[in-house]
Chains A and B, each alone.
Chain A
Amino acid sequence: MHLGRVMGTVVATTKAEGLDGVKFLIVQPLDKHQRDTGTPVVAADAVAMAGLGELVYYVASREAAEALPERFVPVDHAIVGLVDQVSLVEADQ
């Protein structure tokens, strides 16, 4: 699982079976210092509470589909939690 920041929403009326009612958000992957890293991904919102600008953590690959009520759906990223606080302790910082 990785940290991400919600950047926007995606609306798709025509979707694959099983994706009805699933909210899609654009998520910018972050490194551990919460700096942008890599290209944004579209993730299903499994907590149904993530909003714009929110710090979240998400799962990728097969586990993303496990986050949704319907398990066998074509989803490769899913937001599984909202992040309140990240405590980072590093010797080299």
Chain B
Amino acid sequence: MKIAQVVGTVVSPISHPIFEGQRLLLCDLVDTDGSANGYLIALDVVNAGVGERVLICDEGTSARQILGVTTGPIRSVVVGIIDQIT
């Protein structure tokens, strides 16, 4: 899984059916020191907000399992909100 910071949202009225009704977050991938290193658009299943540090699962089969589907072009899902990293 990857550590990321939510920096925005993406609105997509026309998309593959698997994304319908789902929230898309624009997330900066961050290193452990907090510096940004690329970004990802990830689906939100934990109601994360902008500014929060989150855990992103970036793997297709796990993503589909979380959504309860067997097929679908989904790979990145926000699966947790990070409280603390020590």
Contacts of A89 in B (CB 8 A): 7-8, 50-51
Contact status A61-B16, CB under 8 Å = no
Contacts of B50 in A (CB 8 A): 87, 89
A15 within 8 A of B: no
Q: Chain A at the B interface: mostly helix, strand, loop or mixed?
A: mixed
B15 within 8 A of A: yes
Task: Identify which of A31, A78, A84 gathers the most chain B CB atoms within 10 Å of its CB.
Answer: A84
- Interface size for B (C-beta < 8 A) is 28
Contacts of A40 in B (CB 8 A): none
Tell me the residues in window 1-21 of chain A with beta carbons closer than 8 Å to chain B beta carbons.
Answer: 1-3
A25 within 8 A of B: no
Contact status B41-A64, CB under 8 Å = no
Contact status A32-B26, CB under 8 Å = yes
**11 A-B Cβ contacts within 8 A?**
A1-B24, A1-B41, A2-B39, A3-B41, A32-B26, A57-B10, A80-B18, A81-B12, A87-B11, A88-B26, A90-B7
